[in-house]
Amino acid sequence: MWLFSAPPREEIQAKYGFEITDAWLNHLMKSSVRFNSGGSGSFVSADGLVVTNHHVAADAIQKLSSEEHNYLRDGFLAKTQADELKCVDLELNVLQSIEDVTTRVNAAIPVGATSEAAVAARRKVMAEIEKESLEKTGLRSDVVTLYQGGAYHLYRFKKYTDVRLVFAPELSVAFFGGDPDNFEYPRYNLDVAFLRVYENGQPVKPANYLKWSKVGAQDGELAFVSGHPGTTRRLLTVPELEYIRDNQYPFQLELLKRREVALLAWSGRSSENARRARDELFGIQNTRKARDGALAALQDPEFFEAKVAAEAAFKKQLKDVKDGAEALAAFDRIAEAQKKIAAIVTRHRFLESGLAFNSESFALARELLRAGVERAKPNGERLKEFTDSRRESFEQELFSDKPIYADLEIVLLSDALSYFVEKFGANDPLVKQVLAGKSPRVRAAELINGTQVRDVAFRRKLYEGGASAVTAAKDPMIELARLVDDEARALRKIVEEQDEIKQQAQAVIGKARFAVQGTGTYPDATFTLRLSYGPVKGYEENGVQVPSITQLSGLFERSEKQGNKDPFELPAHWHAKKSAFDLTTPANFVTTCDIIGGNSGSPTVNTAGEFIGIIFDGNIQSLVSDFGYDDKQSRALSVHSAFIIEALRKAYDATPLVNEILNGRR
């Protein structure tokens, strides 16, 4: 997961004989797209056409859907540009430049500052850098923390907010195999969607977009993935990994499985319930399976002991390095800070992270409450989500007219309040105040039915009126947010101060790591653009060779073997047109490229920089990638470019879209 500002040029040249030029890298960087909802994509035409995964676009598709038009389930195709549907609150970002601001950030921290003072100073200087950059360039500007605090880079993005849906297949073919096949291979998914980016009412004309390969991915060829991996934890210390293994992941799995049961039960009551909950349920199930795999890796004594041994070996090397003693002491500071976080993390999760009040309504109420307070402060003293550089994105989301369903909100909030009571006990003073003498279910219904925060005009009025207007509204959900806000902020402050201690310690360790291992390493993922590479290559599993590329014929065979029943049911028109398909068309393929959540929708390209496929998943062996990477069996799964064209032509009669995609092809 290499930085675009520091790709492994020499290693790739030596191993594959391919030279990464600045022009090749810049073109790929500016053709790549980040979705604010989580995920990646790429420009693939001169008229602003973007391709991503169906499951990345699902949030936008869900918000465009209704009981009458279930686009998420039934698919969508715009016959003309006039038919394209404007997404409700989608923001796309395209990286324009990267600047190292480490020296300035670190220089702003007074020598010997307390963790509280250091947090304030770092927050202030980062906000200053972002605001200066925004005012100078007009580009979204984010200071990104790398190497757990070893470096700080300023990322500038061109931001697009007028994005329209062009095409999405039916859910049954996009997510063929459903949860049973998720993170498995071989696969046969058409997990794609196309959107178009507009500016000033017209399709954008990107200077950089990916041309479509004539043949797509070929077995053995070198491939690259350009995308936005979300989070990895490969550089964490052993105590931090122990915390994840024994605390964080077990808790998350308990929560995810609880929510999954609640949503499945509610979805089973009607088809409309199922539609409303579908996107959220998919996210929960996907994350649950990923966490299961990652936790299994941490619970594997061999895997974990290798992490322990590697840290011990590094510490041994530090004894012979200048300033090594300082780095060794930094390990101890991290361990102590992690203990302090663990001591309060459960309450932090429920109050500051909002698990006790899981609902869109509460999230909006808290944003209104805090915006009224934070916007009155100097920019450098605000919570980061309220700084000037993030204001446009924050307001777009706050004033989104996305559908929020009160009945689903009651289900979610009722379950969250019940969980809150279970964890802290019915006699906890704050629990009593939150429930106000009612059961979780009754209290949830009272709050959801009584609040006005789901009304955009109401939100806008309170936001523009500031803290006094928010207070005067006496909205019950806002008052609930106010009830817990002092303690939530206090808990956040503790975690941020301990994170600051860990960041400063990691900076010391990072400096020592560079001294021992050189600078040829990449930082953990941060949902910023990264480059990964590796060949199209199969692998061996249980003594059986798994091919690198599957064929379209396998899609029909798997459906037939499963009785063409959900989640292996294909749309009727696919069966009707089966004879028209070239069943030897490549469907999905695997590479050794290093990916993680957030890479979904990333373009897979060849050495010519041509689009040969799109990342949509990893195999089960890749679930350890949160903590380390091994290319023996770990694989990144892509939809083959040829499958996309074959499906558009034969299943959807989308000739104009195909012509647009192929028009720029060499």
Evaluate the CA torsion angle 573, 578, 580, 581 in order and state its sign.
positive
Q: What is the pTM of this model?
A: 0.94
458/454 Cα distance (integer angstroms):
8
One domain, residues 81 and 121: no
| Share above pLDDT 90 across residues of the chain, in percent, rounded to a whole number | 95
One domain, residues 62 and 146: no
Per residue in 129-182, pLDDT tens?
Answer: 999 999 999 999 999 999 888 899 999 999 999 999 999 999 999 999 999 999
One domain, residues 121 and 195: no
pLDDT, average across residues 208-235: 97
Q: Is 238 inside a domain boundary?
A: no
Whether 149 contacts 90, CB under 8 Å: no
The terminus-to-terminus CA distance of the chain in angstroms comes to 29
- At which residue do the structure tokens 């299943």 appear? 651
pLDDT at residue 113 tops 80: yes
Note the Cα 444 to chain centre separation in Å: 29
Per residue in 379-406, pLDDT tens?
Answer: 999 999 999 999 999 999 999 999 999 9
Bridge partners, residue 196, by sequence: 49, 164
One domain, residues 583 and 444: no
One domain, residues 391 and 418: yes
Range of the domain at 222: 2-91+161-233+523-663
Question: Is 486 exposed, middle or buried, given 0-12, 13-18 or 19+ CB atoms closer than 10 A?
Answer: exposed
Task: State the pLDDT confidence band at 517, using cuts at 50, 70 and 90.
Answer: confident
The pLDDT value recorded for residue 321 is 83
Per residue in 433-442, pLDDT tens?
Answer: 999 999 999 9
Q: Is 64 inside a domain boundary?
A: yes
Boundary of a domain, candidates 113, 133, 159: 159
Q: Is 447 inside a domain boundary?
A: yes
Give the least confident one: 212-226, 427-441, 651-665.
651-665
One domain, residues 62 and 110: no
The pLDDT value recorded for residue 666 is 43
638/217 Cα distance (integer angstroms):
9
Q: Is 217 inside a domain boundary?
A: yes
Whether 157 contacts 95, CB under 8 Å: yes
170/71 Cα distance (integer angstroms):
8
CA distances from 543 to 481, 546, 589, 629 (A): 56, 9, 20, 21
DSSP 578-633: GGGS-TTSEEEEEE-----TT-TTPEEE-TT--EEEEEEEE-GGGGGGGT---TTT
Q: Any alpha helices (H) in 399-475, and if so which ranges?
A: 406-424, 429-435, 440-450, 456-473
Whether 609 contacts 27, CB under 8 Å: yes
One domain, residues 165 and 154: no
Residue 546 token pair: 């798994």
pLDDT at residue 13 tops 80: yes
Is cis: bond before 603, omega within 30 of 0?
no
Per residue in 188-201, pLDDT tens?
Answer: 999 999 999 999 99
Helices (H) and strands (E) in the chain, counts: 24, 21
Residue 602 neighbours by CB under 8 Å, 6+ apart: 32, 40, 41, 42, 225, 226, 227, 228, 595, 614, 615
362/478 Cα distance (integer angstroms):
7
One domain, residues 219 and 362: no
Boundary of a domain, candidates 469, 504, 539: 504
Residue 192 neighbours by CB under 8 Å, 6+ apart: 51, 52, 53, 54, 169, 174, 614, 616, 639, 644
pLDDT, average across residues 346-352: 98
Q: Any alpha helices (H) in 319-405, and if so which ranges?
A: 324-351, 360-374, 391-398
**Residue 612 sits in a domain of what CATH number?**
2.40.10.120
One domain, residues 131 and 150: yes
**Tally of residues, the chain:** 666
Residue 474 token pair: 């006496």
One domain, residues 434 and 418: yes
Q: Is 249 inside a domain boundary?
A: no
622/532 Cα distance (integer angstroms):
14
Q: Is 71 inside a domain boundary?
A: yes
130/218 Cα distance (integer angstroms):
43
The DSSP output letter for 665 is -
One domain, residues 360 and 449: yes
One domain, residues 135 and 58: no
Helix then strand then coil, in percent of the chain rounded to 5, is 55, 15, 30
Per residue in 28-86, pLDDT tens?
Answer: 999 999 999 899 999 999 999 999 999 999 999 999 999 999 999 999 999 999 999 99
Per residue in 249-270, pLDDT tens?
Answer: 999 999 999 999 999 999 999 9
Pairing of strands 151-160, 140-146: antiparallel
351/345 Cα distance (integer angstroms):
10
**Strands, sheet with 2-3, edge to edge from the N-terminal-most edge strand:** 2-3, 530-535, 222-227, 603-605, 611-618, 636-640, 586-591, 549-551
Boundary of a domain, candidates 111, 134, 159: 159
The total number of structural domains in the chain stands at 3
pLDDT at residue 655 tops 70: yes
Instruction: For the chain, give the mean pLDDT.
Output: 96
